[in-house]
Amino acid sequence: MPEKPYIDPEIIPSLERMQARMASRQPMTAVDPKIIRQRANAEFAPLNQHPPNLALIKDIQIEGAFGLRKARLYDALGEREDAPGLIYFHGGGWIVGDLESEDTKLRHLAIASGVRIVSYDYVLAPEHKFPQPLDDCVAAAKSIHSNAHSLGLASRQLAIGGSSAGANLALSTALKLRDEKHSWLQYMLLFYGTYDMCGKPPSRRLFNSFGGGTEAMEFFFSLYLQGKSERRNPLASPLFAEMTGLPPAFINAAGLDVLRDDSRNLVEKLLQAGIETRYEEVPGVTHGFTLLTHEVRAARKIIRTAGQALHSALA
C-alpha cells in the first residue's frame, strides 16, 4: 500500500467545501465557460472578504494587445515615485479570474514586499485562444515599462509573476521579452504554475483526487489552445523553452497539487541554464492555497517568504 500523503489540517475545510460543491452540481466539463466564471466568482468572493488595508489601492487602465484593460495598483507604502514593481497575472486556467480573484493575496504580498504591484486583467479563453492571452500580457508588460514613471515605478526595477495559469503567462512573457532583447525584467515570482501540457509526471496521478485534478486541467488546456499540436509550443508549455537569459526566479509549488512536478522540473531546467532560482514547496496543501490567507497559516507564510525574496531582488 502506498503511504498516504501528508495533509495540512488547515486545508481540510477547503477540501471539504470543494468536494461538496463538486458533488452538488454538473462537472465543469459539461457547462458553458460563462457559468464556470459565475461559479468561480462566487467561490472567490468569501476568500477576499475583510482584506488588510493598504495605503494605496487604485484601479487604472493599461494598454494591452486588445485595447485598454483594467488593472489595479497595490502599494503598502502609499504614493511615491520610482518604486520597485511587480507585474502580476492572476490564475484561473486561462478561462476564469479577474482583478478580484487574488485581491487579498496581493494585499498581503504588497505588505510583505514593500513593492508596488500592478495586477493586470488579461483577456480570457475560449473567446481569446492561445496565443492571444499571452500577447495581451506581453503588450501590458511593455506598456507598464514604457509608462513606469506615470505609474510611480522604477523602470529598471521590475519583476513579473503570477499563479497557476498566470504563472504560465508570466514565464512565457519573460521568454518573449528575452527573445525580443528586452532586458529590464529583474525577477520572476511564480506560484504553482502549469508549465508542461504534454508530460505525465507522477504528481498528475498521485494528487488527482485533490482539487479539480487532471480532468479539469485537460479541460482548461482544450479551451486555451486551438489544437493539441500547440501543446509543445514553448510559449504554451514553457518547459520546452530554452531558459538561458531569463531573470532569477522564486518558484513555489503546492505539495498536493497535480502540477507540483511542473515546478520541480522547471527548477531543474532553470538551474541547468545557470539561472539563480529559489524553490519553496509547501507540504500538505492544494492548488490555489495562497488564496486561503484567512484560514491557512502556510498560505500567509509563503506569501511573506515570497515578498521578502521579491524585496531583496529589487532592492
Q: Which of 188, 203, 209, 200 is nearest to 237 (CA)?
A: 200
Catalytic residue among 8, 103, 135, 257: 257
Mean of pLDDT values over 67-91: 98
CB atoms within 10 A of CB 23: 7
Give the confidence band of 276 by pLDDT, cuts at 50, 70, 90. very high
Domain ranges for the chain: 9-314
129-141 pLDDT per residue, tens: 999 999 999 999 9
Give the confidence band of 213 by pLDDT, cuts at 50, 70, 90. confident
Output phi, psi for 236, to 5 deg: -95, -45
pLDDT of residue 4: 85
Q: Is the dihedral of CA 123, 125, 128, 134 positive or negative?
A: positive
How much of the chain is in helix, strand and coil states, percent to nearest 5?
45, 20, 35
pLDDT of residue 112: 98
Give the confidence band of 3 by pLDDT, cuts at 50, 70, 90. low
Name residue, grid cell 466564471. 37
Mean of pLDDT values over 144-158: 98
Give the confidence band of 2 by pLDDT, cuts at 50, 70, 90. low
pLDDT of residue 220: 96
Quote the CA–CA distance of 13 and 47 in Å, as a whole number.
13
Mean of pLDDT values over 269-297: 98
| CATH class of this structure's domain 9-314 | alpha beta
Indicate if the pLDDT at residue 38 is higher than 60.
yes
pLDDT of residue 1: 45
Catalytic (active site) residue 164? yes
Indicate if the pLDDT at residue 227 is higher than 70.
yes
pLDDT: which is higher, 22 or 13: 13
Give the number of residues written for the chain.
315
What is the identity of the amino acid at 309? A
Q: Which of 18, 111, 137 is nearest to 145 (CA)?
A: 137
- For 55-82, letters b (16+ CB in 10 Å) and e give ebbeeeebebbeeebebbbbbbeeeeee
What is the identity of the amino acid at 249? A
Catalytic (active site) residue 182? no
Catalytic residue among 164, 172, 203, 263: 164
Report if pTM > 0.75: yes
Catalytic (active site) residue 257? yes
Quote the CA–CA distance of 314 and 291 in Å, as a whole number.
24
Give the confidence band of 82 by pLDDT, cuts at 50, 70, 90. very high
175-194 pLDDT per residue, tens: 999 999 999 999 999 999 99
Mean of pLDDT values over 143-165: 98
